[in-house]
Amino acid sequence: MGNVGIKVYEKDGFKVVETNGRIYKIGRHDKLENLPEDVVEALIKYQWERRKERHGMGRSGNSKSEDGQRAKTEFVNPTKDEGDSPESPESPENTGETGETGEPKSSPVGLTNSENAKSDEKNRISAKLLDRDVVDDDNGHKVTIDVYDTGEYKEYLRGDKVVRQRQIKFVMKCNSVVKECFDECKDATKAIAKATHYNISSKDLITKISELREEYITPEEVSLVDYVRQKYPEKLAEIERDPFAWVLQKTKEIVGYDRLKLLAFLSIVSSQMERVMGMSRVHLILVGKTGAGKSSTVKSVTRYVDWADIYITATRLTQNALGYLPIDSFDGRILFIDQIDKQMVNYLREMMSEDRICTLVTVKVVGDDGSERYESRLQCIYGQAAVITTSVADDINVERDELFNRFLKVYVNPESLDVDKVIEAIWTRKKSEISEVDRLAFMAYLKTRPKFADDNELLDRAKKFLKPLNEITTEPINRTTEVLRNLAIAVAIARGKTKVDDDDFDFVLNNFQLDVFYNGLGLTEGDIDIIKAMPDSGDLVTSEISVKLKLSDEMTRRTLRNLEKKGVVYGYHDEGRKGKPLVWSLTPLGRRIKQLVTNVADVIEVRDKDGRVTGAANAKFFPGDDGGGAEEGAVPGADGGVVQGDGGEADSIVGAYKFLKEHGWFLATDLVAKFGVGVLEALKKKDLVTFNVVDGAEYVGAK
């Protein structure tokens, strides 16, 4: 084809022109102006002849009609990504890998042969032949490629857009071998190349299919938010109505740890917040024993975003991995790391403080003379992701405190769970199916949150909470202030607000007050457990503390050593006891911390001289700035009255209220089963609870 003495053909993805002993290989991006005139003329004529062949130009009307009829009657509806196409055009019999007649294919599961035949016939009629192209060589080897419109579309998420794309089917034929493919055509092209005895390469076929796909597939994009609002408005409205109750309802297969689920959710929400100087996100680290449920709890929430490009998961962060992350910013993203090791400390600290991670990467550089060499270049990714990670309790050490004080550390204590419910939940657990609609709705919800909420009106309340901490802690108060502020802002924007109000601040204090408080002291909940187990005066042997808290001696000793470095406890060998055991006592600072954490708890237990609980009080209901003035041993009512724990029903009310304060939102029927039939009405009468309905189930939470 072409001028006399000039040969034009395609090979390895290039147009090849042979003329006067010269060979020109022309790629798709080569410029014609750089080629000799006779080569350009040959290429133009070659392309014109190919176009006429592809579109049937010059053929009779009957031949065109026959092509159309064949396309309508011989198209096979796609049942898998690629494979043999026994009923594809010009292939009346089943063909195997090299064209042998084979057995008929089995029907899809759940369909009889007749039902499958009806389905195929319906799709044959609706199918449309879009084009026919040919790949050949100068030795007479030829592969025809038919392009069909299946009449179907696929939708997928790309960034914050939903892409709608026409499904195209390619049917390739060489002699009696026919192969079909949709998205991934690698195996099909290999089989056809084999049928040509590799005179036409798989690469040539892939190149041609890519050209045809580019010509006939024009993706349509629509905003994810608009897509969800048009198709699933009720799902989006359900999340917006009460996002916290929605999260707890959707993660109920993980028993307990509701507080941790809400923190994971707020960390995700904080990833969308506008970045300010310092820490702009809720960075979360769950601390606990191996098998305590740290990762499972987090993943029960993050699974609603782990399919999207805003979510980055890594077992470890290495220099190479950071250098080649396919992102331009950490802003708007969630980074989940299974465990933090020493190599990651510097990287995470840099991102949390400097809003960037920079690392040297090695790249191959090609010089002007074509020589290759390797160079080290600085690669930086700017921004701040919301970081969620876990740590084994006995792996915590003081060396990493400089990083850990940037996290909100939460202690995962399986001892706090209802053992019966845990066993029942695990024993009866089924495969967890996540609704794709829920995932889309959650992502749309996330994308519609305000980027920031003004918190200036809550400044006085923040000072009132933080100043007592500053009087006794050696930890910098700025870290705790940032954690408290980010939590309050995250709660507000989760509710769609642009201003933080008292309800948002109360939500933080009601659910996470102790977590913030402990972090302000530079302690974990595990540290606090040991402090509370220590006597105000006197001492305890390490083994006595271990038995009391059901911990290993090694873990207890390690925690005590860390507390000793912080000046909270001191240990010494008691010369007066047999064996001179190592005993521990609280320091004056330790006793002050114990007194403070005992009184700051959400619900303060009031006991009589025999240790029996006689009532409970909540500091937030106390009149006066100093929290005084309330009746001792009381849970407040809406009328200013109290609930006294004098046994019977009152004890149930006190217990139920304490339980809700500790566990957050709880299924109303389960609360009744746990504390008795009248407990809901009693709590409602005292205006101590609020209710919410999710998926038809009623939940109750403490005010």
Check residue 274 and give left, alpha or beta (phi > 0: left; psi -120 to 50: alpha).
Answer: beta
E strands, 490-618, in order: 540-541, 569-573, 582-586, 604-607, 613-617
Please compute the mean of the pLDDT values over residues 630-649 and round it to a whole number: 40
Report the CATH fold assignment for 523-594.
Answer: Arc Repressor Mutant, subunit A (1.10.10)
Q: Taking the C-alpha atoms of 602, 608, 610 and 614 in order, what is their torsion angle to the nearest 10 degrees?
A: -60
Does residue 395 register a pLDDT over 50?
no
The architecture that CATH gives domain 602-703 is Orthogonal Bundle (1.10)
Q: So what's the pLDDT on residue 399?
A: 46
Q: Select from 596, 262, 196 the least CA-distant residue to 410.
A: 262
- Secondary structure of residue 99 in the 3-state scheme: coil
- Sequence-distant (6+) residues with CB within 8 A of 85 are 76, 91, 171, 178, 179, 180
Q: So what's the pLDDT on residue 629?
A: 37
Give 177's pLDDT tier (boundaries 50, 70, 90): very high
Please compute the mean of the pLDDT values over residues 205-229 and round it to a whole number: 90
Task: Dump pLDDT digits (tens) for 260-308.
Answer: 999 999 999 999 999 888 888 999 988 877 778 888 899 999 999 988 8
Task: Dump pLDDT digits (tens) for 19-31.
Answer: 877 888 887 667 7
DSSP state of 448: T
Q: pTM of the prediction?
A: 0.62
Does residue 649 register a pLDDT over 80?
no
Does residue 83 register a pLDDT over 60?
no
Q: So what's the pLDDT on residue 129?
A: 86
Top CATH class of 233-449 equals alpha beta
Burial class (CB in 10 A: 0-12, 13-18, 19+), 160: middle
- Lowest average pLDDT, out of 85-99, 380-394, 547-561, goes to 85-99
Q: What is the mean pLDDT of the chain?
A: 76
CB 330 within 8 A of CB 271: no
E strands, 14-93, in order: 14-19, 22-26, 82-84
CB 226 within 8 A of CB 350: no
Task: Give the residue carrying structure tokens 């002849």.
Answer: 49
Q: Fold identical between 523-594 and 602-703?
A: yes
Q: Select from 490, 503, 434, 445 the least CA-distant residue to 237.
A: 445
Q: So what's the pLDDT on residue 702?
A: 83
Other Cβ atoms closer than 10 A to 415: 11
Of the chain, the percentage scoring pLDDT greater than 70 comes to: 76
Please compute the mean of the pLDDT values over residues 399-427 and round it to a whole number: 75
Task: Dump pLDDT digits (tens) for 431-482.
Answer: 777 888 999 999 999 999 999 999 999 999 999 888 888 877 777 788 889 9
| Cα–Cα distance for residue pair 322/553, rounded to 1 Å | 39
| Cα–Cα distance for residue pair 304/307, rounded to 1 Å | 7
Q: What is each CA distance from 257 to 69, 264, 368, 428, 495, in whole angstroms? A: 63, 11, 61, 19, 22
For the chain, what are the domain ranges? 6-55, 78-218, 233-449, 452-504, 523-594, 602-703
Q: So what's the pLDDT on residue 146?
A: 92
